[in-house]
Structure 1
Amino acid sequence: MSILTKIAYAIIFIWLSNPSASANDIAGCSDVGGLRRFIDSSIVMCERHDFDTYTLPTGKNTGFDFDSNKAEFESSMNIEGRLVENVYAIPPAVSSVDVFRNYKADLAANGYRILFQAERDATGPHLGSFFETTGPGTQIWGYSPDQARYIAAVKEDGGAKTYIALYVIEYQDGYDPNFSPQKGQAMVRLDAVQVGALEDRMVPASAADISKDFEVDGKAALYGILFDFDKATIKPESRPALDEIAKFLQQNPAQRVYLIGHTDSVGGFDFNMQLSKARAAAVVDDLSRTYHLETSRMMSSGVGLQAPVASNATQEGRARNRRVEMVPSDAQMGLSALGLQP
């Protein structure tokens, strides 16, 4: 970084304060991604989830279905991880241009790489509607497009990545019960998704655990098997869990099993039924190809959202419901209710 560049950053950061809580912040909210906040701004809304899915726009918005609240983009990324979504109110009389320029400089100074950026019409016709209907949504995003500015960025730190979605507007219209911006007041939506580090929490069941679960519960929940978002593609991080499943089956050569896919309730009944079946079939296929286990010992099926183990009303509950279960094929009780044939 040149001396002139450093001086430019120093001048810009006059407008930025260190990341710290403001007396006007909503309780439980704080800055994210190691980024500074605009001076004298406050967090008026936030949502935080230990684990969630997120669609990161990485291209121009091309449309929006107002019946399903689904946005379309030239390109986007579906990612999973620790999610924080903050809404900042900027002091009046500050333009969105100043706010955007400062945040962009702070992203660069903190090692973020820009994936996509756009201003005004180049953001697309309904990028505001996307933010209005996701996370701490509020009408102001959808009704104030004239001075809208957007950045998608990523920072890599070892095995972890932090993705940023930054959306800046100048309020023109739209009601929100939580606060009342002044006409022309800049507002910031800053979403941060941390991926990579969270997957260490997904401890796979050992072969001994599976054996014990069979004896005690008549089944074993296999949470260490991870899939791409809304797909049946097994992630490489699933290998330790698959190793243990294969080890159990190798240690018990006479054991035949059902592998049953389960999903949360997001996406509807038919979609989740097909997804759960495809994921269970993918596990059987991997066990057969990688570990040379006989497919005749394994029957796959899926029950979609029909057998939750936690409430789908919370992010944590949905994470528990997304799983593959293994059931010994001699455990006949309840199989007909799950749509399986012994």
Structure 2
Amino acid sequence: MIAFARLHLVASSILLAMSAAGHAAMPADAPDARDHALISRYAGSWLVAQDVKGFDQVAVPLGSKNGEVARAEGRVTRLFYLAPAGKSVVEVQRNYEQALERVGAAKRGGCAEDCGSSSFGKLREVPANPSLPKAQLEGWSPVTLLQQWQESGSERYWYGTMEASGSTLHVAILSAKPGTIALAGKYVATVVEIVETKAMEADKVVVDAGALTKGLQSEGKVALYGLYFDTGKATIKPESKPQLDQMARLLQSDGSLKVHIVGHTDNQGALDGNLALSKARAQTVVDALSTTYKVDAKRLSAAGVASYAPLGNNATDAGRARNRRVEMVLQ
């Protein structure tokens, strides 16, 4: 978990960097919405809407013309702001960028005005809050802006990462002129997205020894989602211990049981790379069982099949999540 004392120090630096003199009063922020601890808003801005997910996988645009993305998992905070009247997209966006880079954030991607095929995906989908005040800005309503806010060709985008207490934070800033006629040229809209990398709660997905036995007896295999690895890596994470404990308990209770440990991935990335990664992850599990839990290595084998045996549709986030797994298979 990220140490928020460190984040508040960072936030203080960014807040000082973004102070601005003189701005007109904006409507009250969305109920229960607040700035992220990492970064303040552009001074005087209105926090129109907020979306927070405790754990999710997101595709962060790199801002390239061919629509490339970086994938990140963890706590996702998405904030939607309107800057004070009279500010330009350039002024607002550069304040964010300079403040972040000043405190050590490394730029990984971005674009200005001509962003090619970058649709910005979820960055355009901050939900309207139905409990928002009924305040109007020159006849405009929040729902209108959130449904169609980006004027094509006006956008400026920055994506970068930074380290805080051993964790990587992914930060995306997208500013643009609103696409609605009433607001065009007067208010700048900005979406701030921050992904704090962390693991899911392991106790939500552990398959106990009894369930492992039933699955092996009925299906000859069991899909496991309680074994955790960082994206693109084969080192098993400490949060995997509860699931490893249950696997070892089963294997220690029946000395005749022999199993394959099979790694699976979704279809994101190169197939050859995913084949190697899935095999390496399976081997890591085998190594943990044979060394830490003293299970005879001759009773275990490791294999990786990448995306060749999906359980879900790789065209959806939910399907890809089902496909990223390790299976225990009877030999």
Give the structure-1-normalised TM-score: 0.63
- AA aligned to 1:327 is V
Counterpart secondary structure, 2:230: coil
Per-residue deviation at 1:287? Answer: 1.7
Find the partner of 1:51 among 43, 51, 56: 56
User: Paired residue for 2:309, among 294, 307, 310?
Assistant: 307
Would you say the 8 A contact 2:77–2:194 is kept in 1? yes
Higher share in strand: 1
* Contact 1:115 1:151 (C-alpha < 8 Å) held by counterparts: no
CA 1:133–1:227 in structure 2 vs 1: closer, same or farther (change >3 Å)? farther
Aligned to 1:116: 105
Structure 1: how far apart are the matches of 2:252 and 2:151? 56
CA distance in 1, matches of 2:186, 2:27: 25
2:76 counterpart of 1:83 = yes
2-structure distance, mates of 1:150, 1:125: 6
Task: Give the equivalent residue in structure 2 for 1:93.
Answer: 86
Preserved CA contact (<8 Å) 1:51 1:319: no
Task: Indicate how the Cα distance of structure 1 residues 126 and 266 shifts in structure 2: closer, same or farther if over 3 A, else same.
Answer: same
CA deviation vs aligned residue, 1:261-290 (integer Å, no higher than 9, x gap): 111122243333332222212211222222
Q: How do residues 63-74 of structure 1 correspond to structure 2 at under 5 angstroms? A: 64=64, 66-67=65-66, 69-70=67-68
Confirm or deny that 1:21 pairs with 2:39. Answer: no
- Separation in 1 of the partners of 2:19 and 2:233? 46
Structure 2 CA distance for aligned equivalents of residues 260 and 322 of structure 1 = 11
Q: How does 1:154-233 map to 2 (within 5 A)?
A: 163=169, 165-169=171-175, 171=177, 182-183=184-185, 186-196=188-198, 198-200=200-202, 202-233=204-235
Structure 2 gaps of 5+ residues are 1-8, 125-148
- Deviation per CA, 1:64-88: give whole Å up to 9, x if none: 5x55x337xxxxx964124344554
Q: Conserved in 1, the CA contact under 8 Å of 2:92 and 2:175? A: no
Alpha carbons of 1:93 and 1:41: their partners in 2 closer, same or farther (altered >3 Å)? same
Is the Cα–Cα contact under 8 Å of residues 262 and 302 in structure 1 kept in the other structure? yes
Alignment deviations for residues 299-318 of structure 1 (CA, whole Å, 9 cap, x no partner): 22122222222232332332
Pair 1:33 & 2:36 matched:
yes
Q: Percent identity?
A: 30
Contact 1:152 1:164 in 2 (8 A): yes
Q: Deviations over 1:169-217 (max 9, x none)?
A: 455xxxx9x7577358533231122443733454322222211222233
Question: Is the 1:260–1:326 contact (alpha carbons within 8 Å) kept by the matching residues of 2?
Answer: yes
Q: Does 1:291 align with 2:293?
A: yes
Residue 262 (1) aligns with residue 264 (2): yes
The correspondence of residues 313-324 of structure 1 with structure 2, limited to 5 A, is 313-324=315-326
User: Quick one: structure 1 residues 272 and 149, their matched pair in 2 at CA, closer, same or farther if it must change by over 3 Å?
Assistant: closer
Query: Aligned partners of 1:130, 1:236: CA distance in 2, in Å?
Result: 41
Opposite residue 51 of structure 1, the aligned amino acid is D
Q: Distance in 2 between matches of 1:324 and 1:247?
A: 17
CA-based RMSD of the aligned residues comes to 4.7
Pick which of 85-94 and 36-45 moved more: 36-45
Letter in 2 for 1:165: V
- Matched residue, 2:131: none
Contact 1:132 1:141 in 2 (8 A): no
* Residue correspondences, number: 288
- How far apart, in 1, do the equivalents of 2:306 and 2:28 lie? 42
Q: Deviations over 1:8-40 (max 9, x none)?
A: 799769869798438xxxxxxx76736776656
Aligned to 1:132: 118
Distance 1:80 1:279 in 2: 18
